[in-house]
């Protein structure tokens, strides 16, 4: 749309991306800066943090070297808009304000403290639960204080917008959900195996790990007995060793897959048993874009404008998951119909060709204030 873009990215050691292997042609059209950073949790840092007033969740992402590089980038160009993607880059807000007169926008990928509050609630080990609650309280203070330092906030869902309003945001607030280029999501039913279930997600993210463990322990043993030909495929980056121990004739643990879209296309029914978290699940949006029938918990579907029984199946208990999967296996027409409706839903709400011009329009309005 004729906008000059500069991307400044922190490259955490835990989620390291080899910048040299990024072949997206988009990177030929933008200025791109990346800095490697070890944001890992360590006992010494965690103990020291107890005696500060900082949130350990976000302070780990601040680095003087990264701040210096960012300051240099800001001095090289006269920026109109600077958008912060997620809470973990907000520690650099002061650097931006000191070195640029740009309008600043915060795009909330989720409500971070809400994620940690929910994780703490599910922790059974009392000392760890107490520490997680402490982290959540600190994070809540930081998140609520920072939100009003921006000219504009973008929430990723209407639910998150309401949450941001409740904790006292006086900043202009708009909803911008996950957006997809639907030309890259074209389903080919001839390559879809049935009966197949699948789960796809980063397995170093605790909510994904806990939800999948619950499904495998409480639900899968009964599901496996339904049909000897039924296969359940699990994929995702940083697959934890514990999941390979579940591997069997009917359960295939693939680990990280080269092409997520191709993997989604090859399977029939998507399982998302999330028990905690916040924001919007990108993988659900992608699954819907590929016309998949998705069986998910209410929490997993949070933020997505979907309707149980029409374009998604909601299951919050082991019994509900069992009945939903049984329904899809015995009535293939049902899961195909839900998948077709799911595609229509995401085309309505998540088309990048509609969302990007809306965002640009807000940029332009900000520059006139």
- Which CATH number goes with the domain that contains 68? 3.40.50.2000
Residue 166 CA to residue 155 CA, distance in Å, equals 13
- Give the pLDDT band (50/70/90) at residue 144: confident
How many other C-beta atoms lie within 10 A of the C-beta of residue 46? Answer: 13
Paired tokens of 322: 């069992």
Let me know whether 155 and 202 are in one domain. no
Domain membership flag for residue 297: yes
pLDDT above 70 coverage of the chain, percent: 95
**148 lies in the same domain as 89:** yes
Cβ partners under 8 Å of residue 131, min gap 6: none
CA distance 87 to 16: 19
Q: Is the pLDDT of residue 44 over 60?
A: no
Q: Poorest-confidence range of 1-5, 60-64, 104-108, 186-190?
A: 60-64
Inter-residue contact 5 to 30 (CB < 8 Å): yes
Q: 21 and 113 share a domain?
A: yes
Cβ density class 272-299: b for 16+ within 10 Å, e for less: bbbbbbbbbbebbbbbbbbbbbbbbbeb
For residues 111 and 218, which has the higher predicted lDDT (pLDDT)? Answer: 218
- Check whether residue 28 and residue 175 sit in a common domain: yes
Query: Is residue 332 included in any domain, yes or no?
Result: yes
Give every strand in the sheet of 81-85, ordered side by side.
81-85, 103-108, 152-155, 172-175
Omega before 195 cis (within 30°)? yes
Specify if 40 maps to a domain.
yes
- For position 199, what pLDDT does the model report? 96
Torsion angle (degrees, nearest 10) of CA 131, 149, 350, 180: -80
d(CA 353, CA 301): 23
Q: Determine the Cα–Cα distance for residues 250 and 198; give it in Å rounded to an integer.
A: 12
Q: In this structure, is residue 1 part of a structural domain?
A: no
pTM: 0.85
pLDDT band at 215 (very low <50, low <70, confident <90, very high): very high
Is residue 127, in this structure, part of any structural domain at all?
yes
Query: Average pLDDT, whole number, for the chain?
Result: 89
- DSSP class of residue 100 equals -
Q: Quote the pLDDT of residue 56.
A: 61
CA atoms within 13 A on the CB side of 208: 19
Domain of residue 148 covers 6-179+352-366
Residues 171 and 205 grouped into a single domain: no
Q: Is the pLDDT reported for residue 275 higher than 90?
A: no
Question: Is 175 contained in some domain?
Answer: yes
pLDDT score recorded for residue 273: 95
pLDDT at 53: 66
Question: Is the pLDDT higher at 54 or at 61?
Answer: 61
Closest C-alpha among 231, 240, 241 to residue 267: 231
Based on the domain organization, do 144 and 200 belong to the same domain? no
Whether 49 has a pLDDT exceeding 90, the answer reads no
Position 126 scores a pLDDT of 79
Residue-level pLDDT at 75 = 94
Same domain, yes or no: 173 and 270 = no
Q: pLDDT category, 52, cuts 50, 70, 90?
A: low
Check if the beta carbon of residue 103 is closer than 8 Å to that of residue 79.
no
Q: What is the number of domains present in the chain?
A: 2
Q: 242 and 277 share a domain?
A: yes
Closest Cα partner for 113 from 167, 190, 156, 68? 167
Spatial CB neighbours of 170, under 8 Å, sequence gap ≥ 6: 148
Q: Are residues 263 and 342 in the same domain?
A: yes
């Amino acid at each position: 749309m004729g906008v000059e873009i500069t991307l400044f990215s922190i490259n955490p050691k835990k989620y390291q991306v080899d910048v040299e292997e990024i072949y997206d042609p988009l990177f030929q059209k933008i200025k791109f800066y990346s800095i490697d950073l070890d944001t890992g949790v360590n006992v010494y840092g965690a103990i020291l943090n107890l005696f500060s007033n900082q949130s350990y969740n976000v302070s780990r992402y601040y680095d003087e070297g990264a701040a210096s590089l960012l300051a240099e980038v800001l001095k090289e160009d006269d920026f109109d808009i600077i958008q912060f993607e997620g809470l973990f880059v907000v520690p650099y807000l002061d650097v931006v304000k000191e070195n640029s007169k740009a309008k600043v926008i915060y795009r909330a990928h989720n409500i971070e403290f809400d994620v940690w509050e929910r994780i703490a609630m599910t922790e059974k080990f009392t000392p760890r639960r107490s520490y997680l609650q402490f982290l959540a309280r600190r994070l809540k203070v930081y998140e609520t204080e920072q939100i009003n330092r921006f000219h504009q906030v973008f929430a990723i869902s209407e639910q998150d917008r309401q949450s941001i309003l409740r904790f006292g945001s006086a900043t202009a607030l708009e909803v911008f959900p996950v957006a997809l280029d639907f030309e890259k999501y074209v389903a080919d039913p001839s390559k879809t195996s049935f009966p197949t279930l699948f789960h796809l997600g980063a397995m170093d993210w605790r909510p994904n790990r806990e939800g999948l463990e619950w499904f495998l322990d409480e639900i899968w043993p009964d599901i496996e007995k339904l049909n000897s030909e039924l296969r359940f495929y699990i994929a995702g980056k940083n697959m934890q060793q514990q999941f390979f121990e579940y591997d069997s004739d009917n359960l295939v643990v693939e680990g990280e897959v080269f092409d997520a879209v191709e993997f989604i296309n090859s399977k029939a029914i998507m399982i998302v048993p999330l028990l905690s978290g916040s924001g919007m699940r990108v993988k659900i949006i992608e699954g819907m874009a590929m016309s998949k029938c998705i069986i998910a918990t209410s929490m997993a579907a949070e933020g997505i404008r979907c309707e149980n029984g029409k374009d998604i199946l909601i299951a919050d208990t082991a019994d509900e998951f069992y009945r939903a999967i049984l329904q899809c296996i015995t009535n293939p027409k049902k899961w195909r119909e839900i998948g077709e409706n799911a595609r229509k839903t995401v085309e309505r709400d998540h088309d990048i060709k509609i969302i990007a011009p809306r965002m640009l329009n807000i940029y332009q309005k900000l520059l006139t204030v």
